[in-house]
Amino acid sequence: MPRISQRKRKPIRRKPRVARKRAHVRVYRATVATFHYDKPTRQLIEYEMHFKIARRGKLRTIRARLAKLGLKHLQSWLRRYAKISIPKGKLKVAFEREAHARKQQTHASVRRFVMHRVKGRWTSKELPAGTMSYVRRRRKKTRARR
């Protein structure tokens, strides 16, 4: 019986490496809305914010993060500018269907609206638009001081 070292070994054939496909970049659109009863004017006022961002990744995780950040953004904006405090339970989130995009974005564009009832119809007024940071900022690497 031949020794192990004397046996002829077959060359190992490795499969060629295939680059993993990256997820498509999609445009995500979310609407966060709430209402507030204004006692001095005796009117129901609705606030809406439309968020739009292009991201690559899993649909579920991006939608969840966009909803979480959008709720926080609307709450803080109302507290700062309208002096209204609204609990999270009264905020509603809705999503539109996704579309393809070319590039990712780090900031979501935000369109803000306020709606009033005038003679049984809702009339909207556009407020100043803005942006919302979606990605956390990277810390600058600093050397440790001695």
Q: Pick the residue with more confidence: 12 or 31?
A: 31
Q: Structural domain boundaries of the chain?
A: 25-133
Comparing C-alpha atoms, which of 119, 136, 132, 103 is closest to residue 32?
132
Distance CA(38)–CA(47), nearest Å, equals: 12
Distance CA(74)–CA(79), nearest Å, equals: 8
Gap between the terminal Cα atoms of the chain = 67
> Which residues, listed in sequence order, are joined to residue 42 by a DSSP beta bridge?
none
* Chain position carrying tokens 């001095």: 40
| Residue 3 pLDDT level (bands cut at 50, 70, 90) | low
pTM: 0.77
